[in-house]
């Protein structure tokens, strides 16, 4: 109704001789008769341009384009009427050109003015100017580090919110050219070097880091400066998190260890992934685990027909299904309790659901634990892979993707060796079936179940010393979403038989990781929280590797994904290896399993095959059992 009033007043003003110098008299009757047509055309133009989808309280300069477009459309239509009817008797519809021009300027300028006034009043009210009776929230004075896209989006959102818990006193940005400028009316006061002075002068209680895709060292530098002042620091989610709908720009959070990794956001080829996953049936084994569940969350984006969730841990499957049904009720999820190594059960699942794409994420992964449970690693990491992979081929799945690990490179552990054999098995299956089989190898996944980050977090929370195995131990890290996204992308790139190797960036010292986590908890390493070195555990390396010595890495269409050209094993070699492992797993003989790995994988670097106190006679027995098994003669 307010718009009707503005448009009507503007039209009558356009007919005033005092405004429209081309008119000598005020044609009130003509104006009244023409008003319905003009207002109808202008309303139609506003609707077509999307003006009524803009919230008045958040109107911005960008939204002016909508009103300029609407003005051009309505003015064009009215001028068209004028010229089309010029030589007819329809004088009523021939609005004078001068009236059209003046009316367009006044009408759409008035509409914009009304909306800007509304926003101005809202912001005054938000600051307490007109809502003295409203309960006001105490706001923390804050400085924002970063006057780019993220900082501007935060300022725009905070200025227009009644419930904001922060009051932005200014920006700092290390781009000297921005100093003295402003964002949403808020001044850019200096660079990060000026933080100590600005915090004191402005009584700032909080620093907000608003830098999209900031490098870890940059965030660490800002955190260290905040610790020296001292002042609390929080961070704005990245544009990637916001774009995926996980958070909004005003949802500030504490700086997390993942921020300090500073890895560049993964860019996916969505067209390729829609073709790979869209409108297909997808099966994920180990769906309740850290990687499996994130794979499922990422797969959902590409609109599969159905996702079959295979998991043997009942609670993990229950929690995943509950989350998915709450967030995506429109999609079809099939939660199935099953052991990936159970041939009969998995056969039933493939028979009923006929998945087109299979992601095999089920595995035993904890290195020290697997060292004393090698038979279970063989069953789960090798034979379950062979079972699921063979069923994928027999039931005509188009793609099978194995989730592998950097520990399969020159393995020193049972876990790494078992995953290396799983890769070999997958390459062998690729030669037997039309299914495209690929493996994806990456390093440690930050904050996955049982990994170092949650262990450190629990130790700090409980006031215990943080335990690090060795001061020089390093690992490659990536976040769970990044790992899942690159697995999907690698799967889509596969032609069959490849072992994809992901770019893991720079290795991170575990000691530095522990120090960072202690600092993020507001404590001082070695003062508030001690760090103890416990020694390297069985099967662990000081440094992880991502490529086997002598292999060539080939580039793919994605800058973070490479193909390792690794020599494949013959079908007979693989068959013989599996026969040996079958017997050894039945015997649950750790040393026999180690020997089979050492004999069949030249890259294996087990530090010691014999156990302490092992006699020559016992060693001879193990040697004999392996020899007999090779010729199919072993027996209990």
Give the separation between CA 334 and CA 331, rounded to whole angstroms.
Answer: 10
Query: What is the predicted pLDDT for the residue at 28?
Result: 78
299, 274 Cβ separation under 8 angstroms = no
69, 77 Cβ separation under 8 angstroms = no
Give the separation between CA 395 and CA 384, rounded to whole angstroms.
Answer: 16
Query: What is the predicted pLDDT for the residue at 149?
Result: 83
> 457-461 contacts: CB < 8 A, separation 24 or more?
457/517, 460/517, 460/518, 460/521, 460/523, 460/529
Across 44-50, average pLDDT: 85
Across 447-453, average pLDDT: 71
231: tokens are 């002042």
CB atoms within 10 A of CB 635: 7
Q: Return the half-sphere exposure (C-beta side, CA atoms, 13 A cut-off) of residue 88.
A: 10
| Statement: residue 611 has pLDDT above 50 | no
468: tokens are 């690090």
Give the separation between CA 70 and CA 74, rounded to whole angstroms.
Answer: 6
| Statement: residue 556 has pLDDT above 50 | yes
Query: Left if phi > 0, otherwise alpha if psi is -120 to 50, otherwise beta: which for 251?
Result: beta
The residue whose two tokens read 């098994």 is: 629
Max mean pLDDT among 153-167, 311-325, 465-479 falls in 311-325
Band of residue 581 on the pLDDT scale cut at 50, 70, 90:
very high
> What is the SS3 assignment for 289-325?
CHHHHHHHHHHHCCCCCEEEEEECCHHHHHHHHHHHH
Query: What is the predicted pLDDT for the residue at 550?
Result: 42
Encode pLDDT of 155-168 as tens digits.
Answer: 877 765 666 778 88
Encode pLDDT of 370-397 as tens digits.
Answer: 998 999 999 999 999 999 999 999 999 9
Give the separation between CA 521 and CA 514, rounded to whole angstroms.
Answer: 11
Q: Which residue has the higher pLDDT, 16 or 573?
A: 573
Q: Give the CA radius of gyration of the chain.
A: 33
Query: What is the predicted pLDDT for the residue at 247?
Result: 44
| Statement: residue 126 has pLDDT above 60 | no
574, 385 Cβ separation under 8 angstroms = no
Encode pLDDT of 351-362 as tens digits.
Answer: 999 999 999 999
Across 448-456, average pLDDT: 76
416, 427 Cβ separation under 8 angstroms = no
Give the separation between CA 551 and CA 176, rounded to whole angstroms.
Answer: 46
By residue count, the chain amounts to 636
User: CA torsion 169→175→177→182, rounded to 10°?
Assistant: -20
Q: Which residues of 98-110 are buried (b: 16+ CB within 10 A; e: fewer)?
A: ebbebbbebbbeb
CB atoms within 10 A of CB 72: 14
Query: Left if phi > 0, otherwise alpha if psi is -120 to 50, otherwise beta: which for 184?
Result: left
Q: Which residues of 298-321 are buried (b: 16+ CB within 10 A; e: fewer)?
A: bbbbbebeebbbbbbeeebbeebb
Measured at the CA of 596, the angle between CA 591 and CA 599, to 5 degrees, comes to 120
CB atoms within 10 A of CB 210: 26
Give the separation between CA 467 and CA 454, rounded to whole angstroms.
Answer: 12
For the chain, the helix, strand and coil percentages under 3-state DSSP, each to the nearest 5: 50, 15, 35
Measured at the CA of 515, the angle between CA 206 and CA 485, to 5 degrees, comes to 80
Q: What are phi and psi of 114, to 5 degrees?
A: -60, -45
The residue whose two tokens read 């309303």 is: 43
574, 425 Cβ separation under 8 angstroms = yes
| Statement: residue 571 has pLDDT above 80 | yes
Task: Tell me which residues are annotated as active site.
Answer: 407
Encode pLDDT of 209-219 as tens digits.
Answer: 988 766 777 88
| Statement: residue 131 has pLDDT above 50 | no
Give the separation between CA 406 and CA 6, rounded to whole angstroms.
Answer: 68
């Amino acid at each position: 109704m307010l718009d009707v009033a503005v448009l009507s007043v503007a039209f009558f003003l356009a007919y005033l001789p005092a405004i429209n110098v081309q008119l000598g008299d005020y044609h009130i009757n003509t104006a009244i008769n023409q008003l319905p047509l003009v207002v109808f055309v202008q309303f139609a133009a506003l609707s077509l341009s999307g003006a009524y989808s803009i919230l008045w309280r958040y109107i911005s300069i960008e939204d002016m384009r909508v009103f300029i477009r609407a003005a051009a459309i309505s003015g064009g239509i009215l001028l068209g009427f004028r010229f089309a009817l010029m030589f007819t008797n329809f004088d009523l519809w021939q609005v004078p050109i001068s009236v059209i021009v003046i009316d367009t300027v006044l009408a759409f300028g008035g509409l914009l003015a009304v909306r800007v006034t509304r926003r101005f009043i809202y912001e005054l009210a938000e600051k307490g100017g007109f809502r003295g009776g409203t309960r006001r929230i105490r706001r923390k004075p804050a400085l924002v580090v970063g006057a780019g896209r993220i900082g501007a989006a935060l300022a725009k959102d905070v200025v227009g919110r009644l419930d904001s818990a922060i009051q932005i006193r200014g920006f700092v940005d290390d781009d000297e050219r921005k100093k003295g400028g402003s964002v949403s009316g808020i001044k850019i006061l200096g660079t990060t070097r000026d933080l100590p002075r600005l915090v004191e002068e402005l009584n700032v209680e909080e620093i907000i880091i608003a830098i999209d895709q900031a490098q870890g060292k940059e965030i660490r530098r800002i955190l260290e400066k905040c610790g020296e002042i001292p002042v609390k620091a929080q961070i704005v989610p990245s544009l990637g998190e916001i774009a995926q709908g996980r958070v909004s720009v005003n949802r500030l959070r504490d700086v997390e260890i993942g921020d300090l990794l500073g890895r560049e956001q993964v860019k996916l080829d969505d067209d390729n992934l829609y073709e790979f996953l869209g409108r297909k049936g997808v099966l994920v084994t180990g769906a309740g685990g850290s990687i499996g569940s994130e794979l499922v969350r990422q797969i959902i984006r590409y609109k599969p027909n159905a996702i079959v969730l295979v998991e043997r841990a009942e609670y993990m499957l229950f929690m995943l299904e509950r989350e998915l049904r709450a967030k995506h009720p429109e999609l079809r999820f099939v939660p199935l309790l099953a052991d990936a190594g159970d041939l009969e059960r998995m056969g039933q699942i493939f028979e009923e659901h006929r998945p087109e794409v299979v992601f095999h994420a089920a595995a035993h992964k904890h290195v020290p634990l697997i060292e004393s449970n090698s038979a279970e690693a063989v069953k789960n990491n090798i034979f379950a892979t062979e079972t699921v992979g063979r069923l994928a081929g027999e039931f005509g799945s188009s793609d099978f993707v194995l989730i592998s690990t950097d520990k399969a490179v020159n393995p020193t552990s049972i876990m790494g060796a078992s995953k290396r054999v799983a890769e070999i098995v997958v390459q062998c299956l690729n030669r037997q079936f039309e299914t495209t089989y690929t493996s994806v190898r990456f390093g440690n996944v930050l904050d996955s179940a049982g990994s170092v980050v949650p262990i450190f977090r629990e130790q700090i929370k409980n006031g215990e010393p943080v335990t690090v195995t060795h001061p020089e131990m390093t690992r490659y890290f990536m976040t769970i979403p990044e790992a899942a996204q690159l697995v999907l992308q690698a799967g889509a790139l596969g032609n069959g038989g490849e072992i994809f190797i992901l770019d893991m960036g720079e290795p991170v010292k575990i000691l530095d990781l522990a120090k960072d986590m202690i600092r993020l908890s507001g404590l001082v390493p070695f003062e508030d929280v001690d760090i103890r070195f416990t020694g390297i555990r069985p099967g662990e390396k000081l440094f992880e590797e991502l490529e086997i010595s002598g292999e060539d890495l080939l580039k793919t269409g994605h800058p973070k994904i490479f193909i390792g050209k690794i020599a494949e094993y013959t079908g007979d070699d693989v068959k013989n290896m599996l026969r040996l492992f079958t017997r050894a797993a039945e015997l649950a003989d750790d040393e026999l399993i180690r020997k089979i790995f050492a004999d069949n994988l030249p890259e294996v670097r087990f530090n010691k095959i014999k156990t302490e106190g092992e006699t020559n006679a016992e060693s001879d027995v193990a040697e004999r059992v392996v020899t007999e098994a090779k010729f199919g003669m072993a027996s209990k």
